[in-house]
Structure 1
Amino acid sequence: MRNYIKRSIAVCFLAITITACSSNNYLNSEQLHYLEKQATRTLQEIPKGAINIPRNVNNGADKWRYVDYEDWTSGFWPGVLWYLFEATNQEKWKIEADKFTRELTRLSVQKAVDHDLGFQIFNSFGNGYRLTHNEEYKKVILRTADSLATLFNPNTGTILSWPRSVPNLEWPQHNTIMDNMINLEMLFWASKNGGGRELYDMAVSHAQVTMKNAFRPDYSSYHVVVYDRNTGKKIKAVTHQGYSDESMWARGQAWAIYGFTMCYRESKRSEFLEFAQKVTDVYLERLPPDLIPYWDFNDPGIPNAPKDASAAAITASAMLELSTFVADKVKASLYRKKAEQILAVLSSDKYLSKDTNSSFLLHSTGHKPNGLEIDASITYADYYYIEALIRADRLQRSEPLK
């Protein structure tokens, strides 16, 4: 296990920042009160009109910046509300979740403009259907999965991520970004709930091609791979939102951990489980002592570089699920313990927003090379944080995650 066990022991002694190395009630009344309080404040602040979905609170500000239903992050806020409904069983959260979820309906009848439909629709309608079995939600998901499938290129075997010109990506050649791994979940789900078998095949193909082309020999990930759209040949790999093309961008690696774990859950193909562990292990090896990654593991400004709580939350949630699939009990225990320790740090005074703003978490980084959302509160950090808390709570009670 290399240096993992030693590092785990060391982390447990960081009592100032890590308060729950031992067993913890992840959704106790105090924690739930905090989550509900913050979300209630957000609901009270949301403006009327079409631009009403919280996306981020920039460093130095105390109010959310809002976007409309077309923004790639639009599904995270209704997803947070669905998770609050799941955690509390209170009707008020179901009502609010439904309201914001339905705002995204138009995405299911529009032409796909990029890969983010999974983030948008499955986090909102997907969680809604999981909790309510509302047939209207199911229809929206199935329509959207078919729309996402139109971006699949059989020559490359992957879904086109950005169907437009992006600097350094050789447009009109075919680009596939690591974030796209998360959107495969909607295709897997649709294939099992009334959609065609071809949706499953597309998802498997996308993951296999990504596994082959988007990683370095040490299993750290590139952000983007560019393929020849006609031959499928790999042209190049770059790290668009990281420090450099050869650096390990924290959120990109987190997407890989989450994505391949999910792909194993949905397909039961051992290659995905093995790969999920490999991309997780290199992430854990490089974590700083406080377990929250800097926005890019290779930023030369470390330790004065920005942190990324969103990457930490994504990874914690993914590792909790990964721990349930790994047959090696020692390694499975390690993944779960590490995830719980990350959650403990995120739940400390250093990372909880509290009175700073109405989000759950501080200190996430969105797109540092473009100067956007640096050391900010971001809606997807909150989404994966509450998802991870619910997963940790279920595991503690020996309940299934889904």
Structure 2
Amino acid sequence: MKIQYYITGALLVGLGIQGISCSSQKSLGSIKLELDKEFVHSNLEDARKQISYLAESISESDMPTTYKDGKYVNWGSTWWCSGFYPGTVLYLYEYSKDEKLLVEAKRKLKHLEKEKNNKGTHDLGFMLYCSFGNALRLTGDSVAYKEVLSTGAASLATRFHEAPKTIRSWDGGKNWDGQPWTYPVIIDNMMNLEFLTEVSKMTGDKRYRDIAVRHANTTMINHYRKDYSSYHVVDYNPKDGSIISRKTAQGAFDESAWARGQSWGLYGYTMMYRETGDKKYLEQARHIAQFYLNHPNLPKDLIPYWDMDQNKLTPDSKYYSQKDLRDVSTASVTASALLELAQYTRGSESQLYIVKAEHMLRSLSSKPYKAEYKEAGGYILKHSVGSIPHKTEVDVPLTYADYYYVEALIRYDRMLNGEKVIKQ
């Protein structure tokens, strides 16, 4: 017999729903949760077993990225994905209270800490907030982690420049036309703003929050099309902030909707509403969700193709043979984002986001996406796509797919417990 959970709006609290204070609360009415504790906990337990096996299979300094052809691929701490594995371990520690997981996370943090001084990347939010941020939240050890986070935020802030009003993404590289990037900003960068807003609250330094707000505002204006799909890359003139070009680096073509980019934006603007209470961010997130969920090319199981417009590729495209690959990482990010967005909306709209997130979690938690024990070297999910154009991490397990999948399950478990989706 399936148990249905009904949760009142008093338990699913919007952290800024009034647009006045991020502690404001508003009743959302009753929503229905179709997944039960058994589903959530069995999948979290499977994830714990997988990650524990992965921990046993790698060396202390390895930062897991993927598993391909029976071999582990472990990039160093400077890789943008380096914070996801310890972050996943910490989420699973939160669920299980398994002290071995906390020990494992701490040994990775030891190797990751030096990245607090890395001023050559925009991804310090991924690298430091997903890892050290969760460690601080779960342990309360401000002596061990607060300095790392505040130093890292200062490093990230050096990449913000006044004319373009954005944080620069890449240093170097070329676009598909062979032209060097001038001042590229990618939609992914929305995900690193949470790091700045949280450190702003932690330290009282309003400069970090201001940078996050200005970047989000500029991105909203320049990255989004009329249908609320997002370009991947906007290249700016750093002298006056004018736009040189709008391109893609990982999508099928410049005007396509690269799938993970849409999920980064959805998650990022939902988060910015939570952090600021500014309703324009909520409206942006709702529009992005509408574009995504109503896309005619979204498969029935809600695990998207790597590019939402891949069906427009012609046989002469160099990506045509891979056009139908799915990207599990996009679905993981989207499911987690929708669970949060549901608490800031009402009635049937809120329920829709819950239903779609549940559908994604069911799909992710079953074949062919969920790995059998040890099947993928200890990674939880299969069939993600890093970058087809760059021929990297194509149709493999990916550490960030696992991170956001576990995060979504943790968030759902909080809802079942009558708690806020976000714990800070």
Q: Same fold (TM over 0.5)?
A: yes
Cα deviation code 1:357-386 (max 9, x no counterpart): 111001100001111111110000000000
Equivalent residue for 2:5? none
2:132 equivalent to 1:114:
no
**Partners in 2 of 1:64 and 1:282 — Cα distance?**
36
Number of the residue aligned with 2:304: 293
Q: 1:64 to 1:336 in 2, by over 3 A?
A: same
Match in the other structure for 1:12 = none
The sequence identity of aligned pairs, in percent, is: 40
Match of 2:187 among 178, 194, 217: 178
Alpha-carbon spacing, 1:241–1:131, altered in 2? closer, same or farther (3 Å): same
Q: How far apart, in 1, do the equivalents of 2:355 and 2:179 lie?
A: 42
Aligned partner of 2:360 among 322, 331, 342: 342
Residue 28 (structure 1) shift: 4.8
Counterpart Cα distance in 2 of 1:303 and 1:178: 23
Aligned-partner residue type, residue 118 of structure 1: G
Question: Which residue is equivalent to 1:43?
Answer: 55
- Give, in angstroms, the shift of residue 41 of structure 1: 1.1
The Cα shift of 1:27 comes to: 6.0
1:217-265: CA deviations, max 9, x gaps? 1000000101110000112111110000011100000100000011111
Structure 2 counterparts to residues 144-223 of structure 1, below 5 A: 144-168=152-176, 171=180, 173-223=182-232
**TM-score, normalised on structure 1?**
0.90
CA RMSD of aligned residues (A): 1.8
Further displaced range: 208-217 or 38-47: 38-47
Q: Which residue of 2 aligns with 1:16?
A: none
User: Equivalents in 1 of 2:413, 2:44: separation in Å?
Assistant: 12
Pairwise CA distance, 1:294: 0.3
Q: What's the CA shift string for 1:143-197, capped at 9, x where partnerless?
A: 0001000000111110000022333585462111011000001100111111511
- 1:82·1:97 contact (CA, 8 Å) conserved in 2? yes
Query: Using a 3 Å threshold, how does the CA distance of structure 1 residues 195 and 173 change in structure 2: closer, same or farther?
Result: farther
Deviation, 1:133, is 1.4
SS of the residue corresponding to residue 74 of structure 2 reads strand
Q: Per-residue deviation at 1:320?
A: 0.2
Change (3 A) 1:108 1:90: same
Aligned twin of 2:133 = 126
Q: How many residues align?
A: 377
Cα deviations by residue, 1:9-52 (Å, 9 ceiling, x for unpaired): xxxxxxxxxxxx9332266553233112101110111035x4x1
- What is the aligned counterpart of 2:409 among 389, 393, 402? 389
Q: Is contact 1:27–1:389 with CA below 8 Å preserved after alignment?
A: no
Aligned 8 A contact 1:55 1:66 in 2: yes
Aligned residue type for 1:233: S
Contact persistence 2:52–2:101 (CA under 8 A):
no
Tell me how far apart the structure 2 counterparts of residues 381 and 254 of structure 1 sit (CA, whole Å).
Answer: 12
How far apart in 2 are the matches of 1:370 and 1:23? 38
Alpha-carbon distance in 2 for matches of 1:278, 1:26: 33
User: What TM-score, normalized to structure 2?
Assistant: 0.86
Q: How does 1:306-345 map to 2 (within 5 A)?
A: 306-326=325-345, 328-345=346-363
Unaligned residue ranges in structure 1 (runs of 5+): 1-20
Tell me which moved more, 328-337 or 150-159: 328-337
- Give the unaligned 5+ runs of structure 2: 1-32, 312-319
Structure-2 separation of matches of 1:247 and 1:57: 28
Q: 1:304 to 1:152 in 2, by over 3 A?
A: closer
* Contact 2:301–2:359 (Cα < 8 Å) also in 1: no
Amino acid paired to 1:63: K
